[in-house]
């Protein structure tokens, strides 16, 4: 009997969703791809600087192992090592694939791929298409998916919203409940598996570098349905963004990769035109404090330094919380070719030409390292078993996650240009897992009782009916802004437990007030308000995961900075001392001759890792996130203190 073709439902049309769709079609599956808007408009288009792969095009001695080390170290050792290693080793093949499908990557004189530098590494490892790399990758992958659509293998459900997974009595995901955003009809689709490639949750903070659709609602719904959520408190604050009313627009790390320098006037309150301030009166604080990495320290480090300069030292430009990002020493032609896209954005939104005047920038919420907990299988040699149905599976069988929506590639801090890589890597690698999962099932979705689907559907029909009947006094959009304010106040660059407790209290207050929301539009055609109210309730739940995870984690790791628990690394410390310390300990040798204070620091570091080098796991219990901790696979690289100077 010929085997029935698999039917896979992909939620989200960004890089992860498109990669998964392309690969699954190639494996002869039928794909339904669901998106709020046309796939071309997904948030991945906002990625600017590039995508990492250790191709070593400049003969600097770069290798995938070094990429792996930089990624693990950049993430403060909180990522699962076998997976990250696999990703870094696949990266060159991914870049070549992207090149083959027509991405307009910048080229060398010989016509091969050009690479530039990015944060957290000393190698030129980042392939790029001007400064709109994410957009270019989305388009090329979208074109490949369109090709399969042309051949009848892809059904695009654009202008549709995912509401929840459909889970049968055995706990297996059998499909999804969707809403048509034009007719506002709610219906179910059946499938062999559902992939959530739904991106990050920046809208929980309201103003961030994220797009409007990045509410995290799909991942949160999975959590509410019983899926585990991992490392929620690890939110990346990008050091360089352009302030705005509706959005904090990203100014790519590639601006620094191409030579951009961050500075403030040495004298606080120096209001001179920046071009008139001589070199000697400028404080290039990243270059001075981190001579080795300079302006290209990882994002968590750069954001903390800017925070320190602006708030603790009050040295922000004109007393405002802003610093200069300066490219004016580069030629205009060079800048237009390499960074044109983002410099145009700056000019359009500020009216100032960054080729002539230094940009004024400030850190902004950018990326969630955390997300839905996902599984993986390593074989006996420590490599990833690519055929295992466990790869990228959430804790609900049949429900998969990929891209920013998952949690395990970036640890406590993501390196620039690694997000495009992890999105595409997960999208591609999970295809075998998904197919094998459905092959192994005893019963296919076609044999599942129709009441399972009807019930899920009717639950959502009544939920939306209830939402439409909400007739209180709170405007949902205003309440959302207040949620953002609460999160900005407590769960940003610098965290402390008192403020986090206040944030949690504010979230509770918002949760109570949510019951008094008014559905400000009750019409039945293309009505976005009930959807938004549902998303808002998800964002409230997600903010609890972030805030509670942050409150309970009493340490300083990557993007999670609690000064109270800073182990204060000695200035002249060398991370290899720590490796030496561990070896001596294991050999029962004497622990002496370390510079003053170093032994105490290393002992504290080791103790802290025993307690905290673990993934945070949130599970939905009694209307609250219940937090527990899981071990991480650190079998390849010994966790050690980070250092970038």
Partner 1 sequence: MSTHKSVRLTVKRQNAPSAESYWESFDIPWKPHANIISCLQDIQCRPVTAEGKEVNPVAWDCNCLEEVCGSCTMVINGKVRQACTALIDQLELPIYLEPMSKFPTQRDLQVDRSRIFENLKKVKAWVPIDGTHDQGEGPVISDQTRAQRYVLSECMSCGCCLEACPQFSLDNKFMGAATFSQVRLFNLHPTGAMHTEERLEAVMGEGGITDCGNAQVCVEVCPKNIPLTESIADIGRQTTLQAIKNIFQK
Which 358-417 positions form the footprint of partner 1 (CB under 8 A)? none
Helices (H), 441-561: 450-469, 476-490, 497-514, 529-552
Q: Which is nearer to partner 1, 2 or 111 (CB)?
A: 111
488 binds partner 1 (CB under 8 A): no
Tokens of 590: 């004497």
Q: Which of 299, 304, 414, 432 is catalytic?
A: 299
CB 403 within 8 A of CB 199: yes
Round to whole Å and give the CA distance between 307 and 108: 38
Q: Cα separations (Å) of 517 from 126, 359, 506?
A: 46, 41, 16
Least distance from partner 1 to the Cβ atom of residue 102, Å: 4
Q: Which stretch binds partner 1 (CB under 8 A): 97-105, 316-324, 359-367, 415-423?
A: 97-105
Q: Which is nearer to partner 1, 203 or 303 (CB)?
A: 203
46 binds partner 1 (CB under 8 A): yes
129 binds partner 1 (CB under 8 A): yes
333 binds partner 1 (CB under 8 A): no
Least distance from partner 1 to the Cβ atom of residue 249, Å: 5
Least distance from partner 1 to the Cβ atom of residue 399, Å: 24
Least distance from partner 1 to the Cβ atom of residue 13, Å: 11
Please report which helix (H) or strand (E) contains residue 19, including its range.
Answer: helix 15-26
Applying CB under 8 A, the site for partner 1 has a residue count of 74
Window 150 to 169, contacts with partner 1 (CB under 8 A): 150, 158
Tokens of 319: 């007393």
Q: Which stretch binds partner 1 (CB under 8 A): 166-174, 253-261, 523-531, 596-604?
A: 523-531
Phi and psi angles of residue 157, each rounded to the nearest 5 degrees, phi first: -105, 75
Q: Cα separations (Å) of 89 from 66, 93, 338, 421?
A: 10, 8, 27, 11
Q: Which is nearer to partner 1, 129 or 262 (CB)?
A: 129
Q: Which stretch binds partner 1 (CB under 8 A): 41-49, 189-197, 376-384, 630-638?
A: 41-49
299: annotated active-site residue: yes
DSSP letter at 561? B
CB 263 within 8 A of CB 240: no
182 binds partner 1 (CB under 8 A): yes
Round to whole Å and give the CA distance between 12 and 159: 11
Window 230 to 289, contacts with partner 1 (CB under 8 A): 243-247, 249-250
Q: Cα separations (Å) of 96 from 115, 131, 545, 621?
A: 13, 19, 38, 45
Binds partner 1 (CB under 8 A): choice among 13, 16, 29, 43: 43
CA 477 to chain centre: 24
Site string for partner 1, 565-594 (x = CB under 8 A): ------------------------------
Least distance from partner 1 to the Cβ atom of residue 388, Å: 19
Least distance from partner 1 to the Cβ atom of residue 22, Å: 6
Q: Which is nearer to partner 1, 146 or 643 (CB)?
A: 146
520 binds partner 1 (CB under 8 A): yes
Round to whole Å and give the CA distance between 448 and 460: 20
Least distance from partner 1 to the Cβ atom of residue 381, Å: 20
CB 289 within 8 A of CB 308: no
Q: Which stretch binds partner 1 (CB under 8 A): 40-48, 308-316, 396-404, 540-548?
A: 40-48
CB 403 within 8 A of CB 422: yes
Least distance from partner 1 to the Cβ atom of residue 46, Å: 5
Round to whole Å and give the CA distance between 102 and 117: 23
Window 452 to 481, contacts with partner 1 (CB under 8 A): 475, 477-478, 481
First to last CA, the chain: 64
Q: Which is nearer to partner 1, 202 or 265 (CB)?
A: 202
Phi and psi angles of residue 158, each rounded to the nearest 5 degrees, phi first: -80, 160
Q: Which residues are catalytic?
A: 299
């Amino acid at each position: 009997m010929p085997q029935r073709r698999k039917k896979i439902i992909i939620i989200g049309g960004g890089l992860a969703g498109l990669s998964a769709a392309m690969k699954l079609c190639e494996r002869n599956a039928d794909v339904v791809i669901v998106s709020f808007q046309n796939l071309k408009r997904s948030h991945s288009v906002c990625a600017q600087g590039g995508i990492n792969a250790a191709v070593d095009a400049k003969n600097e001695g770069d290798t995938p192992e070094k990429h792996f080390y930089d990624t693990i170290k950049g993430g403060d050792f909180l990522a699962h090592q076998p997976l990250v290693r696999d990703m870094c080793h696949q990266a060159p093949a991914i870049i070549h694939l992207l090149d083959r499908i027509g991405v307009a990557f910048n080229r060398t004189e010989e016509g091969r791929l050009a690479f530039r530098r990015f944060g957290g590494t000393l190698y030129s490892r980042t392939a790029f298409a001007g400064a709109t790399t994410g957009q270019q990758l989305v388009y090329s992958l979208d074109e490949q998916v369109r090709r399969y659509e042309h051949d009848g293998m892809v059904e695009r459900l654009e202008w549709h919203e995912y509401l929840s997974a459909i889970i049968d009595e055995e706990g297996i995901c059998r499909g999804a409940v969707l809403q048509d955003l034009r007719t506002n009809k709610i219906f179910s689709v059946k499938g062999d598996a559902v992939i959530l490639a739904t991106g990050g949750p920046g809208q929980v903070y309201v103003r961030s570098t994220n797009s409007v659709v990045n509410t995290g609602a799909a991942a949160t719904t999975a959590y509410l349905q019983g899926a585990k959520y991992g490392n929620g408190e690890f939110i990346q604050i990008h050091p360089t963004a352009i302030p705005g009313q509706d959005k904090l627009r990203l100014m790519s790390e590639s601006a620094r990769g191409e030579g951009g320098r961050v500075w403030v006037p040495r004298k606080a309150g120096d209001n001179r035109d920046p071009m008139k301030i001589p070199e000697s009166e400028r404080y290039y604080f990243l270059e001075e404090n981190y001579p080795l990495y300079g302006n290209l320290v990882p994002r968590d480090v750069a954001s903390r330094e800017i925070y320190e300069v602006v708030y603790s030292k009050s040295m922000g430009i004109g007393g405002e919380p802003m610093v200069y990002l300066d490219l004016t020493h580069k030629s205009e032609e060079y800048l237009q070719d390499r960074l044109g896209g983002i410099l145009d954005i700056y000019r359009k939104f500020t009216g100032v030409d960054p080729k002539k005047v230094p940009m004024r920038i400030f850190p902004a919420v950018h990326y969630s390292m955390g997300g839905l907990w996902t599984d993986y299988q390593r074989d006996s040699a420590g490599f990833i078993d690519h055929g295992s149905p466990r790869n990228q599976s959430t804790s609900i069988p049949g429900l998969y996650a990929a891209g920013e929506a998952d949690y395990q590639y970036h640890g406590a801090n993501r390196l620039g240009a690694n997000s495009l890589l992890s999105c595409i890597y997960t999208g591609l690698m999970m295809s075998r897992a998904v197919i094998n999962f459905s092959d192994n099932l005893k019963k296919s979705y076609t044999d599942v009782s129709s009441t399972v689907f009807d019930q899920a559907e009717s639950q959502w029909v009544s939920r939306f009916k209830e939402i439409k009947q909400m007739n209180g006094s709170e405007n949902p959009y205003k309440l959302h802004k207040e949620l953002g304010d609460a999160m900005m106040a407590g769960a940003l660059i610098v965290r402390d437990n008192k403020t986090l407790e206040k944030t949690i209290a504010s979230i509770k207050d918002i949760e109570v007030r949510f019951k008094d929301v008014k559905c400000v539009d009750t019409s039945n055609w293309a009505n976005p308000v009930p959807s938004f109210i549902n998303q808002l309730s998800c964002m409230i739940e997600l903010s609890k995961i972030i805030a509670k995870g942050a409150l309970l984690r009493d340490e300083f790791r990557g993007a999670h900075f609690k000064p109270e628990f800073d182990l204060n690394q000695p200035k002249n410390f060398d991370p290899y001392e720590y490796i030496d310390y561990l070896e001596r300990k294991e050999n029962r040798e004497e622990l002496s001759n370390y510079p003053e204070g170093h032994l105490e620091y290393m002992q504290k570091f080791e103790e802290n890792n025993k307690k905290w080098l673990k993934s945070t796991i949130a599970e939905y219990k009694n209307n609250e996130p219940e937090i527990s901790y899981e071990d991480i696979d650190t079998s390849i690289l010994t966790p050690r203190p980070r250092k970038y100077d």
